[in-house]
A and B are shown apart, each in its own frame.
Chain A
Amino acid sequence: MKKLISLLVSAALAVTSVFALAGCSGTKGSGNEASNFKVGAIYINSQNDTAGYTYAHHHGITEAMKQVGLDPSKDLYIVDNVPEDDEKVKQAIDQLAGNGCNIIFGISFGYLNAMDEKAKEYPDIIFSHATGYLSNDKNFNNYFGRIYQARYLAGIAAGYKSLALGNNNIGYVSAWGTEYAETCSGINAFAMGCMAVNPDAKVNVYEIYTWGDQEKERQAAELLIDTYGCCVIAQHCDSAQPQIVANEKNVFGCGYNSDMTKEAPNAHLAAPVWNWDAYYATAMKAAMANPSTFMTEVGNYYEGLNAGLVDVSALSSNCEPETKEAIDLAKKMMINGEWDVFSGVKLSFSGAAGSVAVAKTDAPLVTNEGAEIVAAGGASVDDSVIQGTMNYYVEGVTQVNK
């Protein structure tokens, strides 16, 4: 009898599937009305997030699709919440390929192996991988941006605030420290931005050893304010908690990823932000025009302020009056390629609002342990260092929990 019942369970399940199948026979396929070009995306979190990394990419992809004349509600296929597990990524790619996607974006570093392997299996599909380092010469590229440039600009805002408050201690809540070039270069650029305005500024880094943990982000910000007396809290982590803490404790802050002024109205100055649509539109246009020239047209993509890929959010009313002029000056120099952050030339800003001036001085790029990386007047370090091997802090940076 027991067996009979269990077989019935199965039968009942089967009957329902048949029912549902019958239901679908009358419906039309969605391919009919959609255009021929389809975009696939693999997300580490959900497209329905309202902030954070996946949100920024999803926003970028949908905006870019509108710009190139695609309909995100019909031409976009998403596999979300895909962990960094090769098998799951491969299955996601098979799904997207099966649905006819012409280009597949993978936004997380750990999708590396699977995208590399599947790019060979599906030569007709373009594979585009954020933050990775692999590519081939036909249909697989990687993309990322010079977010350190935007962090330098946010550092200028923080520097002016610390000058005005007469407090040289600036805090920085960071997911990781020198382990990853991405976090390390961000900290250094931010510190150099601070020091361009306030040469005595000290950046105190608290490393939380995870990409996202709201409780730890919160505790780190509290510690930096209460113990180290920091007057501005910058961050490289996923949530707005450090800014919320800064708001509660009546100090100031620079967020990340999105304009966090709405979370911290009395504290937030300006945040380094990504405008991923700048890349996604470029990639989609190239893939729509001619997939076979994608790698020569777009290739491995690493752009910054010049392409509009990174920027600082609109300056809030908490910023000091000189901030905007100084940021505009620095931004202009980076956009026209006249100067970059990690070179042997330092910027310094002076003058009151309305007459802010920038001066360039040759000065070596030195680590906080005294080692010289770039000689005075020398050219910027290579992109490969900024993206992959930078593992030192510059002068003025101290990690407080090492």
Chain B
Amino acid sequence: MRRYHLVRRADSQLKRTLIYYAAGILISLAIGAVILACLEINPFEYYGRMFTIGLIGNRYGYKSIEGLLKIFVPLLITSLALSLSFKMRFWNIGGEGEFLIGAICASCIAFNSTGMPNFVTVILMCIAAMLSSGIIGIAIAALKVKFNTNETLMTLMINYIMLYVIRYLGDTKAPWNFFLRADSERPIFGSFPESAVMKGIPLGPFTLLWSVLISIILTVIVYVYLKYTKQGYEISVVGDSSATAKYAGMGVGKIVLRTMFISSAMIGLAAALTVSAAGTISDTITNDVGWTGIIVAWLSKLSVPAVFVTAVLISILQYGCQAAATQYPAIDINYADLLQGIILFSVLVADFAANFKIVRKEDAKNA
């Protein structure tokens, strides 16, 4: 009987990795092309529109760029935040919940900000969101440090708690509920007053929102923090081995609490920027960044520059899939989601194949 084993490749060749990734993506696009061909749609035309995010022949192309950036900013910040906690081997999968609590608290300020200066309101919204999300994060970290609870379960559950909190707010018509539009018989979320809506730098018809600049500055700060500060070094030591960290005299508990607070507060900031840019809140405001952010963080191997690039590419993929689907009446969003899933899955498989190989048992002994 022959047995097969997985063995990590001793060398990590640049060329091989490149080929595997390209092959993975091409295979996934080919699978998508078969489906498109069955629907009598030209796959080249479809993919062309997808990867140009529907800009060809679009009379309001700048709106597409604005829309793309609105998807990109929360994804980038959340992915960065998740990378921070993953680096410490703290499995924070509660990005959705931390995002939502931040969004709710920022909206509390936004809905009551009529007449306040725009700049002050947005800053207050950011602070409220960062504090609320940060407190949730630090509470879960404290339970982990104090009682060694399972942070994966705790963060996972917070997602559902917050989702139902916001659904409750969205469905409950009551005098106290300032989240809802007052003149509507049916419950429906209201719009923020002008004072709470994010402004930007006008470049012709295009508006570059401040949130885009903030997210880019934040990326640089996180990069420097991880690479050049003592605290950043501590995170990676705790991640490699918390025993080593202890032996080196580091306060592991303190580092975990601090990092989780920063990580959750960043997600809160992403939430405040998102609701402010949208000018409203809803139970789908997260756009699943808490989940997609996990994929971005791992595809990037937790490296900050790679997170930035991957977030750009995944945003283009997401926005492009929807833009292309719009132009074909036969294609609905389920196809777009399917294609995204196939592409991400192939990339992950390609990554695995580039790093591992399958060997027979007797070979493995010699390896």
Residues of B within 8 A of A355 (CB): none
Q: Which of A16-59 contact B (CB under 8 A)?
A: 16-17, 20-21, 23-27, 29-31, 46-48
Q: Are A8 and B51 in contact (CB under 8 A)?
A: no
- Cβ of B145 under 8 Å from chain A: no
- Cβ of A110 under 8 Å from chain B: yes
Binds A, one of B108-116, B184-192, B265-273, B358-366: B184-192
Q: Say whether, besides A6-B310, A113-B190, A83 and B327 are in contact (CB < 8 Å).
A: no
- Cβ of A3 under 8 Å from chain B: yes
Partner of A20, one of B21, B47, B347: B47
Binds A, one of B133-141, B214-222, B329-337: B329-337
- Cβ of A351 under 8 Å from chain B: no
Mark each residue of chain A from 132 to 155: 1 if its CB lies under 8 Å from any CB of chain B, else 0: 010000000000000000000000
Q: Say whether, besides A6-B299, A81-B334, A23 and B309 are in contact (CB < 8 Å).
A: no
Query: How many whole Å from A38's CB to the nearest CB in chain B?
Result: 11
A72 to B155 Cα, complex, angstroms: 46
Q: Are A79 and B326 in contact (CB under 8 A)?
A: yes
Q: Are B44 and A27 in contact (CB under 8 A)?
A: yes
Binds A, one of B59-67, B123-131, B241-249, B252-260: B59-67
- Cβ of B196 under 8 Å from chain A: no
Q: Say whether, besides A21-B52, A80-B332, A81-B333, A9 and B67 are in contact (CB < 8 Å).
A: no
Mark each residue of chain B from 168 to 191: 1 if its CB lies under 8 Å from any CB of chain A, else 0: 000000000000010011101111
Q: Say whether, besides A3-B301, A23-B48, A86-B282, A96 and B67 are in contact (CB < 8 Å).
A: no
- Cβ of B322 under 8 Å from chain A: yes
Query: How many whole Å from B327's CB to the nearest CB in chain A?
Result: 6
Residues of B within 8 A of A90 (CB): 278
Q: Are A84 and B282 in contact (CB under 8 A)?
A: yes
Residues of B within 8 A of A21 (CB): 48, 51-52
Q: Are A10 and B310 in contact (CB under 8 A)?
A: yes
Q: Are A8 and B17 in contact (CB under 8 A)?
A: yes
A70 to B299 Cα, complex, angstroms: 45
A86 to B189 Cα, complex, angstroms: 9
Residues of B within 8 A of A94 (CB): 60, 63-64, 66-67
Q: Smallest CB-CB separation from B309: which chain A residue?
A: A10
Partner of B334, one of A5, A31, A46, A98: A46
Query: How many whole Å from A75's CB to the nearest CB in chain B?
Result: 9
Query: How many whole Å from A172's CB to the nearest CB in chain B?
Result: 21
Q: Which of A228-257 contact B (CB under 8 A)?
A: none
Q: Smallest CB-CB separation from A41: which chain B residue?
A: B329
A110 to B325 Cα, complex, angstroms: 22
Q: Smallest CB-CB separation from B314: which chain A residue?
A: A13
Q: Are A6 and B301 in contact (CB under 8 A)?
A: yes
- Cβ of A78 under 8 Å from chain B: yes
Mark each residue of chain A from 53 to 79: 1 if its CB lies under 8 Å from any CB of chain B, else 0: 000000000000000000011001111
Mark each residue of chain B from 310 to 346: 1 if its CB lies under 8 Å from any CB of chain A, else 0: 1001001000001101110110111000000000000
Q: Are A16 and B63 in contact (CB under 8 A)?
A: no
Q: Smallest CB-CB separation from B170: which chain A residue?
A: A84
Q: Report which residue of B185, B285, B329 has the largest number of chain A beta carbons within 10 angstroms of its beta carbon.
A: B329
Q: Which of A78-115 contact B (CB under 8 A)?
A: 78-81, 83-88, 90-92, 94-100, 109-110, 112-113
Query: How many whole Å from B332's CB to the nearest CB in chain A?
Result: 4
Q: Smallest CB-CB separation from B313: which chain A residue?
A: A13
- Cβ of A301 under 8 Å from chain B: no
- Contact surface of A with B, Cβ cutoff 8 Å: 1-17, 20-21, 23-27, 29-31, 46-48, 72-73, 76-81, 83-88, 90-92, 94-100, 109-110, 112-113, 117, 133, 180-181, 388-389
Can you list 13 contacts pairing A with B, beta carbon distance less than 8 Å?
A3-B303, A5-B301, A6-B299, A6-B303, A8-B18, A21-B48, A21-B52, A48-B330, A80-B332, A85-B282, A94-B64, A95-B326, A100-B57
- Contact surface of B with A, Cβ cutoff 8 Å: 12, 14, 17-18, 21-22, 25-26, 29, 42, 44-45, 47-52, 54, 56-61, 63-64, 66-67, 70, 181, 184-186, 188-191, 278-280, 282-285, 299-301, 303, 305-306, 309-310, 313, 316, 322-323, 325-327, 329-330, 332-334, 347, 351, 354
Known: A5-B351, A46-B334. 15 other contacts (CB 8 A): A10-B309, A14-B313, A17-B316, A20-B29, A21-B51, A24-B52, A26-B44, A30-B327, A47-B329, A86-B278, A86-B279, A86-B280, A95-B67, A99-B57, A113-B191
